[in-house]
């Protein structure tokens, strides 16, 4: 029996391409078993069997690997991938914790004329003033998959400016402006709602007021009024549009003009009609706050009519404040005011 001109390596699983002889005399042989033709000497045209060549050659699956990796990395960042997959979604159209109606420094769009009385501060007697709030809370990231309509969890950004103007002079003196910036985390599950937030709050005395009462402010110790801290609220929805809530704040950075901590509770009745049809409904809300600086309880009461016109909701409201003033720079001053105005839901 004639020996094979090809040797097999011990460490290889297929015939190793190493000829025994370097003779140039080559002939073709036909295998009686496979009926295929092969070289009897010299370097073969292809040293690997077909199965091995197919294994080493780039396949369609291998070419698709980079695209699969890109999809796996960038897929969760796509808003469309959130639904039904339990991943985050950017800028969702959902509001797990709607803004409080009566809280005086809740971020919203609101304007009203008020009859204010601050016996120990600035303008004497009762004064006609205007209160303006401009702000918005935006949900940036949604963490749940949206599979349950009664459940949502979001991380957002809120910004608001709150200003008070003295309206009984021609130039309409700016008394005080408060600025609020926060990162709210909001959650809703069934009838329960919660909101936690890290936020910055600063109060700035109006230039007009400072010029008019410069001596009083210098003697009183004019300085920065700001605080940085955490806020938390827990609310329970009731039937017929009701909501009860309780919470508070703790400030890890503050100064002598601001409270270190505060406690808040209240309730709302706001039976908004479902859908987008035009309509109206009465509402009422009360917010109660105890602050460590003033060491007294302040109440804000709001009532009126809610309206929806062409899909836009707004409120016509009467508002009253009893206790310490909500204006940040005068936080320890007693104030009573009654006003009429409106608020807009964005």
DSSP per residue, 49-91? -HHHHHHHSPPHHHHHHHHHHHHHHHGGGSGGGSTTTT--EES
Confidence of residue 216 (pLDDT cuts 50, 70, 90): low
Q: Which of 341, 324, 288 is nearest to 115 (CA)?
A: 341
Q: Which of 81, 92, 196 is nearest to 151 (CA)?
A: 92
Per-residue model confidence (pLDDT) at position 224:
67
Q: Which of 199, 62, 190, 213 is nearest to 124 (CA)?
A: 213
Cα distance between residue 34 and residue 101, in whole Å:
88
What value does the mean pLDDT take over residues 141-147?
A: 88
Cα distance between residue 325 and residue 289, in whole Å:
11
The residue among 246 and 276 whose pLDDT is bigger is 246
pLDDT at 226 over 50: yes
What value does the mean pLDDT take over residues 57-75?
A: 45
Per-residue model confidence (pLDDT) at position 3:
46
Per-residue model confidence (pLDDT) at position 34:
46
End-to-end CA distance of the chain: 94
pLDDT at 51 over 70: no
Tokens 């060549």 identify what position? 53
Which residues lie across from 111 on neighbouring strands? 132, 342
Per-residue model confidence (pLDDT) at position 230:
97
Q: In whole numbers, what is the pLDDT of the chain averaged over residues?
A: 79
Contact yes or no for 328/225 (Cβ under 8 A): yes
Residue 197: both structure tokens together? 């937030």
Contact yes or no for 305/283 (Cβ under 8 A): yes
Residue 225: both structure tokens together? 């009024």
- Residues 87-130 pLDDT 10s: 468 999 899 999 999 999 999 999 999 999 988 777 878 999 99
- Residues 169-186 pLDDT 10s: 888 999 999 999 999 999
The residue among 109 and 60 whose pLDDT is bigger is 109
The residue among 148 and 179 whose pLDDT is bigger is 179
Per-residue model confidence (pLDDT) at position 57:
47
The region of weakest confidence among 60-74, 75-89, 211-225, 320-334 is 60-74
The alpha-helical segments, DSSP class H, found in the chain are 50-56, 60-74, 207-212, 214-220
Other CB atoms within 10 Å distance of the CB of residue 333: 15
What value does the mean pLDDT take over residues 307-314?
A: 91
Which residues lie across from 141 on neighbouring strands? 90, 155
The share of the chain scoring above pLDDT 90, in percent, equals 51
Per-residue model confidence (pLDDT) at position 210:
84
CATH number attached to the domain at 89-344: 2.40.230.10
């Amino acid at each position: 029996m004639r020996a094979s001109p090809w040797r097999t390596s011990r460490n290889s699983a297929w015939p190793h391409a190493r000829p025994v002889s370097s003779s140039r005399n080559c002939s073709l042989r036909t295998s009686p078993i496979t009926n295929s033709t092969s070289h009897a000497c010299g370097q073969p045209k292809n040293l690997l069997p077909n199965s091995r060549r197919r294994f080493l050659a780039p396949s369609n699956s291998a070419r698709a690997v980079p695209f699969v990796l890109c999809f796996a990395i960038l897929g969760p960042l796509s808003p469309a991938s959130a639904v039904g997959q339990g991943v985050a979604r950017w800028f969702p159209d959902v509001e797990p914790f709607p803004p409080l109606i009566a809280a005086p420094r809740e971020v919203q769009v609101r304007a009203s004329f008020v009859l204010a009385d601050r016996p120990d501060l600035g303008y004497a007697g009762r004064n006609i003033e205007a209160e303006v709030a401009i702000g918005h809370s935006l949900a940036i990231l949604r963490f749940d998959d949206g599979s349950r309509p009664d459940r949502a969890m979001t991380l957002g950004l809120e910004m608001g400016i709150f200003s008070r103007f003295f309206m009984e002079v021609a130039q309409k003196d700016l008394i005080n402006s408060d600025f609020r910036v926060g990162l709210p985390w909001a959650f809703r599950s069934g009838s329960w709602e919660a909101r936690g937030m890290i936020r910055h709050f600063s109060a700035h005395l109006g230039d007009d007021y400072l010029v008019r009462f410069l001596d009083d402010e210098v003697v009183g110790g004019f300085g920065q009024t700001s605080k940085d801290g955490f806020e938390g609220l827990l609310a329970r929805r009731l039937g017929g549009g009701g909501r009860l809530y309780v919470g508070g704040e703790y400030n890890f950075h503050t100064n002598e003009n601001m409270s270190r901590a505060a406690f808040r509770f209240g309730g709302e009745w706001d039976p908004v009609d479902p859908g987008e049809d035009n309509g109206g409904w009465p509402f009422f809300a009360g917010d109660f706050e105890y602050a460590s600086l003033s060491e007294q309880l302040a109440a804000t009461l709001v009532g009126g009519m809610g309206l929806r016109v062409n899909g836009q909701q707004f409120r016509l409201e009467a508002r009253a404040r009893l206790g310490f003033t909500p204006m940040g720079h005068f936080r320890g001053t007693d104030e009573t005011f009654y006003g009429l105005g409106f608020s807009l839901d964005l």
